[in-house]
Structure 1
């Protein structure tokens, strides 16, 4: 059950609430979010152990607590095992001395007790006690030195040795030593070395009240802070390292012969002062504080800075003590430094002051039942805070001491630090942004203010009105642009509104500068560049799909044709710009735009209007595009324009260019070109038909269409050409005779069929002879066409013509007939002789015989020939029937192989009676089948006939026998 004194103490703990932020919270978009943390920042808890007597001194490190009591005993406790403690009597070791201080190293293993003599005959002494020992050991060389402060080595990790440490005395001496626990020596401790390295007072007795030394980074450089009641000294230098341990004596060498420099002096009537360091999470000293009579001197440690070689800290300031209700307030007796606060201990209370704004944030009054406060200390390893009174020990718990830091930094206009310490709380960040933006706005930095406003949840309309009131269009654009960046793609309405508004702002600025004649100014180019970047923004480009017509109207209303064209290029909406050029009758600009865009579809769309209005320039542009355009898709444009000479000439020029340079074969193009030739240029038509050739399968136009068109226009020469192309020889010759006799003759010579050619020439001859009855001309026909004889043309002459006129041609014709008869007779005689020779050969072959000896062998397998049925060829080769069959069968075609298989099947399946049956030829069926089989197999010798020639690429040794043959050769 909590005692009445404990309840009083709990009630006496007062946490001061921070002041609210200056701006109203309605400026933030976060309305209902809780802004305060009601958990107490500092709270204390009384430990549940009671010392046996009044506490005089205390020290704690690494969860190890040591108390010195008035009864001359030391109370030691491992805080991890609070039920186990021990008490050691120290007065027996030095009964006539007074304990002035106890010092525990950061590991909690090495304890030093400082004594002074109670009478003039005595001497001060330093005693060592190891954590695992209960025997006090004297530091022999410490006599005559009253140790008032110990500078521990924070790098030391040894449980048996302290490592190099510094001792400060009441006379101002700085001693360097290293103590090591020695179990063999009962009454003394092993001192590795002991030397005096500096004298702060330079001959005067000035007590040392604080010592701290630390390494700078990973180098051999160390910095040392030493305090007296009125001064803070700073030393920095390189230490000499021996066996991995630094010797700090060398750091003081430069200061021995120089005047006193590098100290901070604060007047004080107190005989004491306190020095504290705060370490970050990596155990690197970050800040320091020095307790003096006027206040706490606080600063940021920066030993690596080269800005001021005489100072190891930055932003040093004196923090005044909080006022008290009593008219005269004593200075604090001790203090503890945290990251953002300093806890001040008075004889009856503890106060916490913010290091940032020096405000009192916590006050704790102690009951007289516990006695006066003796000390408040901090565990350097565990970072726990302990307060000790005469009769009790208290532990302070610190919960989120940085919770209000963001407010302080915000009030101090350090907004980046404020955001860092608000832990990404969106409500706090918004408040910081609003205040930051308003500050920039008040200072005239409107664009910077706009960027910060865009990050806040402030009312969109309110912020816009603020910049409009000041006519800060650039700042308004910055704000709108930043808001646009932050919007999600789903916010299509707001995105569209911002895009339209920003476009209007850009266009207004550009229009104003154009009207002022400042189109070449740097300002104009900068705004134009920003506008182009804005149009290329992904969100803007996507939004253009929905508000394109509105943006175009805006640009048109401002007369900004240049940006309108650029926008159409970005949106690939080229149709709109070309249409505007045509509407304004700027046809050349429209053509240039089409040529620049390289969009064939737009050519096809606007070609009808352009070729109608400016045919020459349009055709020049079309020609420049070459094969990029399909002429067939331009036909509607050509057909829709007027048919005067200017348009037709340009259209023909384009079509001829495409045909000659790109070999266009589209039939529609050629038909249209041919139509233009028929109607406007007959000479070009004939040249065109000539170039197309006389093969109807190779021409690119429709011959029937061309013939019909030429007939309608009564173009006889063209009709002759086309009729001949279609092999309408009679019609072609008939038309040609109406034009020119030579043309008719050339048409007759075109045909490849001799009979047709002869009939065409007869038709020409009949036409000419019937008309003129000219004998010379008739004779010329006989010379020009050998297919025509004199007897063919005689019927075409009139009856009055006598045979004397044809004597010579008739005699020539009879002579030719006589020669032909003689040739036929000679051929008949040769045929008769050949027949008689063949009959003689057949007769001699029937009487031929061959003798086969008993030792004859098959030419294929080498086995005796008479063992099986065999074939004997006229050449003398002899083969078994089965050997010949096996050799010939693979080389037969599919039909003959099937026929052979069928014959073999019949011979093997049919019975003897069936095979003996006579066929229509009178021979038995067996004999017929055998003859057919022989015709297939034994047509020729396989060694002397064509079979051997066809097998010329066949290897002599089959693949499957190659290994066997190789072994035989070996």
Structure 2
């Protein structure tokens, strides 16, 4: 069977389908669309229940409902199991002259109190207890003198047997503390644990009735706070409860108020004889807000018992909500109300109104027809969060669907934007509307920076927002807006990112340029903008974008004349080419060179060396020298060649080239040729020193000798030409040219050739030149001393006929003496040669008659078989070999030519016929004999054990590597 709650839920859903409509959702940048159905916020459903008489009172707690009817009956029902309901007669348990004034059900739905008042002076008020599992009511005996008007239940109680300590309010302003406990038998009749009067409410010597009591623990401490209301006043109490033997007592809370009863009182003038106190509990059953129904309106506030701002008040942000006006001029004050999180449902005799607690506007009004009867009460089951309204004829349940749906808008209108966003529940359209409104408000107030930050989070038109800040001349705020939009873009939005980066750069540069033009480049504002600009440039997204738009950014900076930032940016982007170019543009050559040295990138050196050498040759050469061989001197030649040929540039170039030659032994011919050219043009002494250092071996010099000679001839450097000609082997030309320059130089050149004949010829030419010029006998004699190759007879033809031989007597005698000595030496050598020839002839004769005896047992030195078995060779050293063994052993060690000849001779012996082999040759020997003699000359030329082959094999191992394993096994 479907429960009543399920039936009402289904009916509500059916009703919602017919009532739902499009819910507007507007925002500056979002398309209006319906995201969810527009179910009514408030709706009521009639309960399928027919009362046996007029309903007078209603109580609901934890899905347990109790109705009191005019016929003296109680109707009880478990809403989860509506079929389990019952009616019982309560009038027979009370005095007949009393009337029911109220029923009170504890939060668990197990303990019910019925309060009765006397109808006349003869009657007495009464309080009756009924347990959920009992049908027998029992009077609370000590309540006979008290008319209970309100019950403050213990919300911490979890027992179905006892109520725990509770507070009772009476019509005379008394506050009582008691605890009711059901009997342990199945009758569940009440036992009154204790009963004590703990406080009295007195107002101007009168005792007003208690209309509301609520008490709750403060967090998890022993402190409790108590709210008590009368028709005109709200009393607040706070203090520590005492626990004795496990029993909690609330009496101690009121001790300090006995002497100061006026503390913590909120008074509101009212002409009503009643009032009502309601709390709203969160999901953890912790009271968060309260509302107090009074004549002028609902007094509403936030509960904060831990607040230290006002020790006399337990609530904050309290205000009075006026009742909505009624055009029909009926009762203005409601009879009752219930409190939700954001609304108060006000019950009148014929209608229910819902008022927003935030903006105090009427959001819902529900009229009841006469068929339903007059409304008696509206109550809330705060544990199950259900709301029930009862008329004298029937029962209704109110369903609240998403009552927070418009809270964001209300908070937004109240400019409480943080709260508004909290209740948007991450709806992007609503959040956007709130942000737009907040940004507009901040803009109007002049808080442009904060406004820009919030505008960046909205979907407002980019152009509109930018124009807004531009019209207000708020460049700083515009930069904030653009930067936030830049951070929000996706990596794929490369075009938008580039646009924003370029624009923001332009804004920064414009601001900096304006300050520079007004002479404020040292101001704090200038440094702050510069610092912000540098921070902007190092953002990862900006750095990445710079790789694509850096040329545009460089152009912007150049157009603003901001060289400093241009250099910083190029450094930041590692665009070192532009860094150096900008330094050169600023004529900061040392900075450019420092950058080049720090980077250690040779390509950049080669690129900028020409202009740096042209503008600052000295510091450039210093930098090049510092780089050492990290730079290739040959690749720097274009930079050197592009320089002007003045002394400053040439001296620095020569300094660098000399450095690399002396320290790194550079042998690049182009470098040497260039340095030689500079020497030839600017420093002839250095040229001669260079030629001297290079030496006189043409294979070891590093310059092009022919080019050097041609260059020196063009520059008419005779001495250098002499040295170069001599280096090329043009001795006659070198001596001839040297004679025109300096005879001493000619003599030095003539002494250089290694060939004695050439050297003699050169000396003769020098002697001829000198003697024919001055006919000096002394100088001619010096030639004889300097060149032993010259004789006096060589010089005599160069003298004139008038010179007598007496002048050459001594040189001639010396020459004749030398000839005599030479003749004696030749004669001695001839005698020694004759004796050697005789000795050889005698040895030959002795070998002809020499013989060796070979015994039958003599073995071959190679195969160790009997030597006489086959033809053999016998060497003077005593080694003996079979001819075939010697041939096999000697053939691998023969040279290619002799091996080929041996093969050819063997082939002839094998191929030619006997007749052909018997043919006599020109030597008188048969061809066979001649071929065998030639083979013997090749094979038996020397003993293989005693000849040169064995000497050449002295460094070879006895055992070949490939035979090592075999030999090792044999030895084992």
Deviations 1:55-102 (Å, cap 9, x if unpaired)?
5433242xx4333454645533353xx6x6212455589833879535
Match of 1:59 in 2: 60
**Mean alpha-carbon deviation: is it higher for 744-753 or for 413-422?**
744-753
Query: How far off its partner does 1:360 sit?
Result: 1.2
Match of 2:266 in 1: 265
Match of 1:584 in 2: none
Match of 1:285 in 2: 286
Separation in 1, partners of 2:92, 2:845: 162
Separation in 2, partners of 1:452, 1:407: 17
1:297–1:317: 8 Å Cα contact kept in structure 2? yes
C-alpha distance 561-872 of structure 1, shift in aligned 2 (>3 A): closer
Secondary structure in 2 matching 1:357: coil
1:148 aligns with 2:146: no
Deviations 1:649-679 (Å, cap 9, x if unpaired)?
5554565566556766554444333223222
1:168 aligns with 2:173: no
Match of 1:715 in 2: 717
Secondary structure in 2 matching 1:344: strand
1:112 aligns with 2:118: no
Match of 2:518 in 1: 513
C-alpha distance 149-620 of structure 1, shift in aligned 2 (>3 A): closer
Query: How far off its partner does 1:618 sit?
Result: 4.1
1:545 aligns with 2:546: no
1:175–1:196: 8 Å Cα contact kept in structure 2? yes
1:725 aligns with 2:727: yes
Alignment partner of 2:94 out of 96, 113, 126: 96
Secondary structure in 1 matching 2:527: helix
Q: Where do residues 722-801 of structure 1 align in structure 2 (5 Å cutoff)?
A: 722-751=724-753, 760=762, 764=766, 784=786
C-alpha distance 951-679 of structure 1, shift in aligned 2 (>3 A): closer
Q: Which has the higher contact order (CA 8 A, sep 6+)?
A: 1
Separation in 1, partners of 2:142, 2:964: 117
Secondary structure in 2 matching 1:406: helix
| RMSD, aligned α-carbons | 6.3
2:784–2:790: 8 Å Cα contact kept in structure 1? yes
Separation in 1, partners of 2:461, 2:843: 126
Query: How far off its partner does 1:346 sit?
Result: 3.6
Secondary structure in 1 matching 2:522: coil
C-alpha distance 88-718 of structure 1, shift in aligned 2 (>3 A): same
1:347–1:373: 8 Å Cα contact kept in structure 2? yes
Alignment partner of 1:806 out of 797, 812, 817: 812
2:747–2:763: 8 Å Cα contact kept in structure 1? yes
Secondary structure in 2 matching 1:743: helix
Q: Where do residues 61-210 of structure 1 align in structure 2 (5 Å cutoff)?
A: 61=62, 64-70=63-69, 72=73, 74-77=75-78, 79=80, 85-88=83-86, 91=89, 95-96=93-94, 100-103=102-105, 105=107, 111-116=110-115, 124-129=127-132, 134-135=133-134, 144=143, 148-153=151-156, 165-170=164-169, 171-175=174-178, 185-188=185-188, 199-201=198-200, 207=210, 209-210=212-213
**Mean alpha-carbon deviation: is it higher for 416-425 or for 630-639?**
630-639
**Mean alpha-carbon deviation: is it higher for 233-242 or for 686-695?**
233-242
C-alpha distance 381-753 of structure 1, shift in aligned 2 (>3 A): farther
Match of 1:586 in 2: none
In the alignment of these two chains, the number of paired residues is 892
Q: Where do residues 384-395 of structure 1 align in structure 2 (5 Å cutoff)?
A: 384-395=386-397
Unaligned 5+ segments in structure 2 are: 1-6, 919-925
Secondary structure in 1 matching 2:93: coil
Match of 1:345 in 2: 347
Q: Where do residues 471-490 of structure 1 align in structure 2 (5 Å cutoff)?
A: 472=474, 474-475=476-477, 478=480, 488-490=493-495
C-alpha distance 754-214 of structure 1, shift in aligned 2 (>3 A): farther
C-alpha distance 626-808 of structure 1, shift in aligned 2 (>3 A): closer
Match of 1:326 in 2: 329
Query: How far off its partner does 1:709 sit?
Result: 0.7
Secondary structure in 2 matching 1:287: strand
C-alpha distance 263-671 of structure 1, shift in aligned 2 (>3 A): same
Separation in 1, partners of 2:316, 2:874: 126
1:748–1:761: 8 Å Cα contact kept in structure 2? yes
Query: How far off its partner does 1:151 sit?
Result: 2.0
C-alpha distance 652-351 of structure 1, shift in aligned 2 (>3 A): same
Q: Where do residues 365-384 of structure 1 align in structure 2 (5 Å cutoff)?
A: 365-380=367-382, 382-384=384-386
Separation in 1, partners of 2:530, 2:501: 21
Deviations 1:835-858 (Å, cap 9, x if unpaired)?
9889989998942559599xxxx9
C-alpha distance 564-148 of structure 1, shift in aligned 2 (>3 A): closer
1:859–1:877: 8 Å Cα contact kept in structure 2? no
Deviations 1:434-488 (Å, cap 9, x if unpaired)?
4333433433334444444455555666656665665555445555655666675
Query: How far off its partner does 1:534 sit?
Result: 5.5
1:44 aligns with 2:47: no
C-alpha distance 443-51 of structure 1, shift in aligned 2 (>3 A): same
Secondary structure in 2 matching 1:187: coil
**Mean alpha-carbon deviation: is it higher for 669-678 or for 452-461?**
452-461
Unaligned 5+ segments in structure 1 are: 582-588
Match of 2:248 in 1: 249
**Mean alpha-carbon deviation: is it higher for 773-782 or for 702-711?**
773-782
Separation in 1, partners of 2:851, 2:381: 137
Separation in 2, partners of 1:226, 1:641: 100
Separation in 1, partners of 2:427, 2:564: 47
Secondary structure in 1 matching 2:291: strand
Separation in 1, partners of 2:848, 2:140: 152
Q: Where do residues 437-586 of structure 1 align in structure 2 (5 Å cutoff)?
A: 437-456=439-458, 472=474, 474-475=476-477, 478=480, 488-491=493-496, 495=500, 498-499=503-504, 502=507, 505-507=510-512, 509-511=514-516, 513-514=518-519, 518-531=520-533, 533=535, 538=542, 541=546, 543=549, 545-546=551-552, 548-549=554-555, 552-553=558-559, 555-556=560-561, 573=578
Query: How far off its partner does 1:357 sit?
Result: 0.9
Deviations 1:346-397 (Å, cap 9, x if unpaired)?
4433222212111111112233434444544445455444444445443333
**Mean alpha-carbon deviation: is it higher for 705-714 or for 774-783?**
774-783
Separation in 1, partners of 2:115, 2:404: 43
1:33–1:427: 8 Å Cα contact kept in structure 2? no
User: TM-score, length-normalised on structure 1?
Assistant: 0.71
2:301–2:319: 8 Å Cα contact kept in structure 1? yes
1:484–1:498: 8 Å Cα contact kept in structure 2? no
Match of 1:336 in 2: 339
Deviations 1:496-553 (Å, cap 9, x if unpaired)?
8844862574156314531xxx443323433444455566662885555336545533
1:674–1:706: 8 Å Cα contact kept in structure 2? yes
Match of 2:921 in 1: none
Secondary structure in 1 matching 2:421: helix
Secondary structure in 1 matching 2:324: coil
Secondary structure in 1 matching 2:358: coil
Separation in 2, partners of 1:474, 1:406: 31
Query: How far off its partner does 1:335 sit?
Result: 0.4
Match of 1:355 in 2: 357
Secondary structure in 1 matching 2:110: strand
Separation in 2, partners of 1:42, 1:700: 105
C-alpha distance 775-50 of structure 1, shift in aligned 2 (>3 A): farther
Separation in 2, partners of 1:431, 1:719: 95
Match of 2:4 in 1: none
1:275 aligns with 2:278: yes
Secondary structure in 1 matching 2:359: coil
C-alpha distance 550-383 of structure 1, shift in aligned 2 (>3 A): same
Separation in 2, partners of 1:735, 1:791: 26
Secondary structure in 1 matching 2:686: helix
C-alpha distance 408-78 of structure 1, shift in aligned 2 (>3 A): closer
User: TM-score, length-normalised on structure 2?
Assistant: 0.71
C-alpha distance 659-382 of structure 1, shift in aligned 2 (>3 A): farther
1:591 aligns with 2:592: no
C-alpha distance 841-790 of structure 1, shift in aligned 2 (>3 A): farther
